[in-house]
Amino acid sequence: MSLSTSVIGNTALLTFASGFVRLFSIATAPILTSLLGPVPYGVVALAGTASALLTTLAIMGIETGYARAFLSDVTSDRRGAERFCWRFVATTTMLSTVAILVAWWTGVCARFGWTQDIPLMVATSVVTMNASTMVVSRARLRGDYQRIAVAAIANGVLGAGTMVVLAFVWRRDGWPLVIGAATGLIAGIAVLRGIPLGPLVRASELSRQERWRIVQLGLPMALTAPMYWVLGSSDRWIIGLLQDEHVLGVYSFAYGVGNFASLINAAVIQTWLPETSRAFDADPEAAPRTIGVLWARMYALMAVAWLVVAAAGGDVIRLLAAPQFHAGAAYIPWIAGGIFFYGLYHTANTGLLLRNDLRPAAAWWLCGALLSVSLNFVLVSRIGALGAAITAPIGFGFISGGVMWSSQRRLRLEIPWRPLGAATVLILATGLACARPWHASALASLAMKVPVGAAAAAVALRWVAPTWFRATLRLALRRG
């Protein structure tokens, strides 16, 4: 199977699974928003930002070292490398969980204005998220993408269903959202054959030098973990500090809708590193050309995902959510832009990953985090939550552009920049034109935008991936 076929096929599979899950979450949104209101979403957003930071600190980038050690000759024993990574994450997760529980028990969390529930929510999320991350990483490295897709569906359906049931029969605060999310993650872990006991109970048997080599591969990612939190989560802390929980709840719900832009991004992130690593190790001379062409096509697909969300997101909020959430429609194009650039970063650092040198990425993340915090404080204090939404694409765009520049210096991919630039201009102009409602009725507005967005996406893909476009057109005509 060629690199292009492998990446596109697996990306399509995971995107389909994620799309099904998001449609299910859309169906439950009217129920949850009417039952809970904005405040529980704001409380869970605060807990989510803390758990995101602790999760990334506990993982410490080891999943990157795990992938490179498992797929290349970083160590002499792939199984030993796997055992080391699992035991490492188990230890750091346990320490993180104990630390947050001690802080809760001693009243340290209360001094920061946290309610009593937030530390327990954080501990629940850290354990389940880290377990899910490692189980999914293990499946990725074995190429078991079909099972990952089934796990994603189980995660989303059971998670959203649990939220609705608990909101109806139990309580009307943030706990139904937290427990529902944890239930979904546990269901996904079960589909992926659960947590393997072998790597946890048996020593790695690697030398100290080999273990340190694996840690070194992921160490720059560990250094960027706080920076990712700053760009991806601190906006909610700043909104909570400068605004109130109602505004934060509206922003958090809008962020969930804007996060639909990650449908393709998440699938690309999961398939990109394993498949490009295999292609590069198999033929280093041909890889820059092969990967460069595919890079451009992945860029175009993620840009089309931004176009869809930017055009439809506001209408979706007006159609499905309670009226008190409708102000979040203005945030959608900016939030989706930040998600696009975050997905782009994971393909932009290809050269750094394949050359096993992520140090430049850490430097760009540090600069981007400083830029993001500064803009958030300035803009949120002046224009509210919209300032946080605007900051997201600026911060992530700065990082992805800088990482791409550093990556090209290590391994220059042969990317068709001219058609890519033309496609970018077309998609951006169409997305901005479609961002505002075109009709008082949300359904009518969506119907009016569909042909315009579809035409722009088709032309953009025709410029960037002409062979794919022709093959898809022939298939559509034949099936039609």
The three state secondary structure string of 71-100 is HCCCCCCHHHHHHHHHHHHHHHHHHHHHHH
Distance between CA atoms of 219 and 160, rounded to whole angstroms? 35
For residue 265, what are the contacts with CB-CB under 8 A and spacing of at least 6? 302, 305, 339, 340, 342, 343, 346
Of 174, 167, 184, which Cα lies nearest the Cα of 34?
167
Instruction: Supply the pLDDT for residue 104.
Output: 83
Contact 358, 221 (CB under 8 A): yes
For residue 32, what are the contacts with CB-CB under 8 A and spacing of at least 6? 163, 164, 167, 176, 177
Q: Both tokens of residue 388?
A: 């946080």
Contact 217, 69 (CB under 8 A): yes
Of 86, 80, 34, which Cα lies nearest the Cα of 63?
86
CA angle 223/229/234 to nearest 5° reads 140
Of 346, 337, 328, which Cα lies nearest the Cα of 307?
337
Distance between CA atoms of 312 and 316, rounded to whole angstroms? 6
pTM for the predicted model, two decimal places = 0.72
Contact 410, 355 (CB under 8 A): yes
Assign residue 219 a region (left: φ > 0; alpha: ψ between -120 and 50; beta: otherwise). Answer: alpha
Contact 413, 295 (CB under 8 A): yes
Instruction: Supply the pLDDT for residue 452.
Output: 93
Neighbours of 12 (CB within 10 A): 16
Distance between CA atoms of 279 and 53, rounded to whole angstroms? 33
Of 450, 420, 467, which Cα lies nearest the Cα of 300?
420
Instruction: Supply the pLDDT for residue 468.
Output: 75
Instruction: Supply the pLDDT for residue 73.
Output: 60
Q: Which H/E stretch holds residue 353? A: helix 350-354
For residue 477, what are the contacts with CB-CB under 8 A and spacing of at least 6? none
Distance between CA atoms of 222 and 365, rounded to whole angstroms? 11
Computed from CA positions of residues 214, 220, 223, 224, in that sequence, does the dihedral angle turn out positive or negative?
negative
Distance between CA atoms of 194 and 342, rounded to whole angstroms? 29
- Helix, strand, or coil (residue 204): coil
Going residue by residue through the chain, which has 480 residues, state the pLDDT in tens, using 9 for 90 and above.
Answer: 566 667 777 777 777 887 778 777 777 878 888 888 888 887 888 788 788 878 878 887 787 777 777 766 655 677 888 888 899 999 999 999 998 888 888 877 777 667 778 888 999 999 999 999 999 988 888 878 889 989 989 998 999 999 999 999 998 888 999 999 999 999 999 999 889 888 888 888 888 888 888 877 777 666 676 777 777 777 877 887 788 778 888 888 888 888 877 777 777 777 787 778 878 877 888 888 888 888 998 899 899 999 999 999 889 888 887 788 888 889 999 999 999 998 899 889 888 888 877 788 888 988 988 898 899 899 988 888 889 899 989 999 999 999 999 999 988 998 999 999 999 999 999 999 998 999 988 889 999 999 999 999 999 988 988 887 787 777 777 766
